[in-house]
Chain A
Amino acid sequence: MSLITRKITPDMMDPNFESTIRKRLGEKGEKVPLCFQCGVCSGSCPVAFAMDYTPRQIMELIKLGAKDLVLNSSTIWLCAACYSCSVRCPQGVDLKQVMETLKEIALEDPKYSRAEKAFYEKFIEVVRKNGRMDEVALYVKLMPKSAVMRNLGFGLKLYQRGKIKLSPAKSSNDQVAKISEKVLAKEVHQQ
């Protein structure tokens, strides 16, 4: 988890950051600058306790253009997309959609490399391939080899009790793969 920064200097501010987010959000983006920091979003957030910056603080950082702080924060990855913030925001800022957009930007730029980001990427890779979640595959992909080796014994125990299977869980058809192809094609098209 990154630490909360107590000093923001000019080199940390990207003057175009807010407008990039606004553009990506389309019509919804017009509401972003309306945030007046009341904190209803953070008060409503079920995950805020675990975040480094609260959702409200993310809005403030966006305003300042503190791009790296925002995209390196845990907040955007921990957002559970429950929509409480979006529903309650008195100014109509769709916080959930803002978080989504921030995730997109972070995913596109290899500069931002949080564990949560890797988790997102590997998770979808596994699901795309198998049509469903496979814990073993995800674990192997996500963790360094040394960690995998170190935990072999534990894995064996889980296997003996039937908690994990060695053959990957696969769905009977390739519908999920097709859906993900479609979505990917759309995303490429939009960009």
Chain B
Amino acid sequence: MSEEPRIGVFICHCGGNISDVVDVEKVREAASKMPGVVVAETNRYMCSKTGLDLIKDSVKKHRLNRVVEASCTPRMHLTTFRRAVSDAGLNPYLLDMVNIREHCSWVHTDKDAATEKAIAIVRGSVMRARDLEPLQPEYKPVERSVMVVGGGVSGIFASLELANKGYQVYLVERKPSIGGKMMQLSKTFPTLDCSTCIGAPRMVEVGQHPNIKIITLAEPVKVSGSPGNYEVTLRIKPRYVDVSNCSSCGECAKKCPMKRVPNEHEAGLAYRTAIYLPFPQAIPQAYVIDPGHCLFFQKGTCKVCAKACSRGAINFDEKERLETIKVGAIVLATGIDVMDPSPLKEYSYGLHPDIVTNLQFERLLLGGMLRPSDKKVPKKVAFILCVGSRSPERGQPYCSKVCCMIALKQAFLLKEFHAESEPWIFYTDMRAAGKWYEEFYTRCREHGIKFVRGRVAEAKPNDGLITLRAEDTLLGAQIEENFDLVVLSTALLPSAGTKEVGQLVGMDTGPDGFLLEKHYKLEPVDGAWTGVYAAGCALGPKDVRESVVEAMSAASRASTFLGGGKIEVSPEKAFVFEDLCDGCGVCVQPCPKNAIVISDGKAVVNPVSCIGCGICVPVCPKQALDLKHNTEKQLLASIYGVSQSNVKPLIIAFTEKVVGYRAADMYGLDRRKYSPNIVIIEVPTTRRVGLRHVLHAFAAGADGVVFVEAEDNWYGLSKEEGLKQFRGHVSQIQRDLRKYGIDAARAMAVAVTLPQYYKLEIFDTVVNRVKGAKPITDEVRAKIKGVLSN
């Protein structure tokens, strides 16, 4: 770099979030004395207009050519500050951010140590900033199509919304028909619209839309590519019926000898045949063979249906197949399952036909409100809430959210259906928060529905009736009462396979099993990967209205992403110093994207395939490879900068930027604490850091290193293989360190996922270990310095 660095350091109070712990003024003073720093400023909120103006004005006034911004995590405001320096006429890549909030003030309590650490990491950033180079982002066209996974109400609305905006939509559904849980419901609260009447027309619209292709009996099994250009492999099960040829006349089902197959659409309360139409409004409107029950697939003979079909639409030779689709974005709308209440023995589910789940009760309401045992209209009906919900020890810890309103609606419909009936609702807390919900609750009380505050202790079959025992907690008295029908409001679970499908697209599941959004409040339908979104019950239990809102949000997010027609590709790519490269080719194999080839005796990096992981850089014996925006010079500058910390012993945590860094952010967000002896340096992957860098760290004064890596974000490698390579990399470094007289315990490894961010507790273990060990002698450090200077 020819021009002399003129660096401005801008330190944010964050309204006290930082300055309550870190002495911001002291940091400013220290920063102003760092080499190359022309000006150091503080502001109450750097991200505010005044803060940003301060940066812009200072750039102009002091002719700054580098900016260091010490504030919150770059995941929050990197774009904001890049735009500010850009506005001031600087290349945005000449800005460097230091995280003194999530990685400092929020995780430390000792104010002096936190301030010292803040000074050290600001110094690391200032040193790095000196070596920053201007870069230009590149652009790549995106695929104008979206895959929506799950054909329930969320998937339907996301598909329609996107298709109407002009995108090609692939609606992938695991079952033979779209429709989802909503199509099984009688009426929807609080307006009591008929569920099918409002849902079925939308299904038809989906079926007829020129921009939507419905792929049923299909699941995604592999996702590769990059945002805007995903390649999805679908596994499609055979339907054995040609959809385009089937007229759904039903002659096949009439002849099918297997008449006693539990009907999924009727929640197991009725039977269907082995060849069946999932339900009358099914889309695609075509029959399907269930090979698990079909006589031909079970015993090898029958095919009666094929003879009955006048159009020859049945094909027993159909095989499972894989199909690949190219999409720019993905929306997960995988929905929910209903918990099986039989493990909760006290409710006797399965022991008496008149003890049903609330989903089964929906089907009873639609079938004339006859109870299963004797097909008579029940008079006294009990609704038991929180069966498996709000029960960390006996089911799910969360509230399933919709059951209170479902019970109210069901009791109301029962009362409407049969005025003599006597619905009782046993509740723990009545949750009717939502537009017109409380009003509906009031209506229910007006209609003579009985409410008992108390969770039912047991339901026992008793001579044709069912006896319930509970405490009326408002009275402090036990009550026992007999009922004709008992409805269990069971917990809603993430649908089977949610975790697996999430993993395909880099979306983690939380402790509750539902998909984790990128930011709970501000990016509520975004996945961690760009171009991946989720909607509806896949994110947590919710009602139809909310699912539709989320579906439209996800569609909007997807179209915002794809609408530009191109995606900015980071210029942070590997490159080759041709004069140093001797074409040995050791870098070719480690590249996870096969982006390096040897051509004319030199390594050549394909910038389109390169993802900037930097794994190739430390591999090169000639140091002929480097990585833009994370160059050797820049990385070493960071290491030497932070190593001058006054908080000793000093442990440098080389932290992978996607998951590891965000995990550390979440640790701070949760206000968990670790020792200020830990200093985080962000790296594209921990394998960007080789032995040489670790030796430099020790030479510079560090007393230990930790590698924080993502547990599964392996650029196409399987989790097992990725972890194996990670562990191998670290143990090789440990072995090599021993040769220099440094104990292996001074280089630790930890792999984290976002939900398991608390695994960073290991930071304190590392600090204690290093504190307990014999200090590294000056001879050892001198020896390392000697080796490095050769």
Contact residue among A36, A39, A90 (Cβ-Cβ distance under 8 Å from B470): A39
Known: A43-B457, A54-B471, A56-B471. A90 touches B392 (CB 8 A): yes
Query: Which residues of chain A are within 8 angstroms of B429 by Cβ–Cβ distance?
Result: 36
A148 is an interface residue with CB less than 8 A from chain B: no
Give Cα distance in the complex from A92 to B394, angstroms: 8
Contact with B along A42-72 (1 / 0, CB 8 A): 1111001100011011000000000000000
Tell whether, in the assembled complex, residue B391 and residue A48 are in contact, meaning their CB atoms are under 8 Å apart. Answer: no
B346 touches A88 (CB 8 A): yes
Chain B residue numbers with a CB within 8 Å of A49 are 478
A90-B386, A91-B392, A92-B393 as given contacts; A38 in contact with B476, CB under 8 Å: no
Name 17 interchain pairs, CB-CB below 8 A, sorted by A.
Answer: A38-B428, A38-B454, A38-B455, A39-B471, A40-B457, A42-B454, A42-B457, A42-B471, A43-B455, A43-B471, A44-B346, A48-B478, A54-B476, A56-B476, A89-B394, A90-B395, A92-B392
B456 at the A/B interface (Cβ < 8 Å)?
yes
Contact A43 B392 (CB under 8 A): no
Q: Is there a chain B Cβ closer than 8 Å to A37's Cβ? A: yes
Residues in A whose Cβ lies below 8 Å from that of B391:
90-91
Q: Kindly state the separation between the CA atoms of A80 and B249 in the bound complex, as whole angstroms.
A: 64
- Determine the distance from Cα of A39 to Cα of B393 in the docked complex, in whole angstroms: 16
Query: Which residue on chain A has the smallest CB distance to residue B473?
Result: A39
List the B side residues contacting A84 at CB < 8 Å: 457
A binding-site residues for B, Cβ under 8 Å? 4, 36-45, 48-49, 53-54, 56-57, 84, 88-92
Contacts of A36 in B (CB 8 A): 390, 428-429
Q: Is B542 an interface residue (CB 8 A)?
A: no
Q: Is B25 an interface residue (CB 8 A)?
A: no
**Chain A residue, CB-CB nearest to B395:** A90
Given A43-B454, A48-B478, A37 contacting B469 (CB threshold 8 A): no
A56 partner, pick from B346, B469, B473, beta carbons under 8 A:
B473
Query: Considering the chains assembled together, what is the distance between the CA atoms of A54 and B456 in angstroms?
Result: 15
> Across the interface, which residues of B come within 8 angstroms of A48, CB to CB?
471, 478
Nearest 7 interchain pairs by C-beta: A43-B457, A90-B391, A92-B393, A42-B471, A39-B471, A38-B455, A39-B454
Q: Are A57 and B476 in contact (CB under 8 A)?
A: yes
Tell me if A43 and B386 are in contact (CB < 8 A): no
With A39-B454, A43-B458, A88-B394 as known contacts, state yes or no: A53 contacts B470, CB within 8 Å: no
For window 459-518 of chain B, which residues contact chain A by CB distance below 8 Å? 469-473, 476-478
Chain B positions 392 through 408: 1 when the CB is less than 8 Å from some CB of chain A, otherwise 0:
11110000000000000
Q: Which of B455, B469, B471, B473 contacts A90 (CB 8 A)?
A: B455
Chain A residues lying within 8 Å of B456, measured Cβ to Cβ, are 40, 43
Give CA–CA (A38, B393) in the complex, Å: 14
CB distance B392 to A38 under 8 Å? no
User: For A39, what are the chain B residues with a Cβ–Cβ distance below 8 Å?
Assistant: 453-455, 457, 470-473
Residues of B within 8 A of A37 (CB): 473
Smallest beta-carbon distance A118→chain B, Å: 27
**A22 CA / B144 CA spacing, docked (Å):** 60
Taking a contact as CB atoms under 8 Å apart, the answer to whether A43 and B469 are in contact is yes
Give A79 Cβ to nearest chain B Cβ, in Å.
Answer: 15
A42 to B455, CA, bound (A): 10
Docked pose: A45 CA to B394 CA in angstroms = 18
Q: Specify which chain B residues have a CB less than 8 angstroms from the CB of A54 in the assembled complex.
A: 471, 476-478
Is there contact, CB below 8 Å, between A53 and B455?
no
In angstroms, how far is the closest chain A Cβ from the Cβ of B474? 9
Q: Which of B372-420 contact A (CB under 8 A)?
A: 386, 390-395
Given contacts A39-B457, A91-B393, 20 further A-B contacts (CB under 8 A): A36-B428, A38-B386, A38-B428, A39-B455, A41-B457, A42-B473, A43-B457, A43-B458, A43-B471, A43-B478, A45-B478, A48-B478, A54-B478, A56-B476, A84-B457, A88-B457, A89-B394, A90-B391, A90-B392, A91-B391
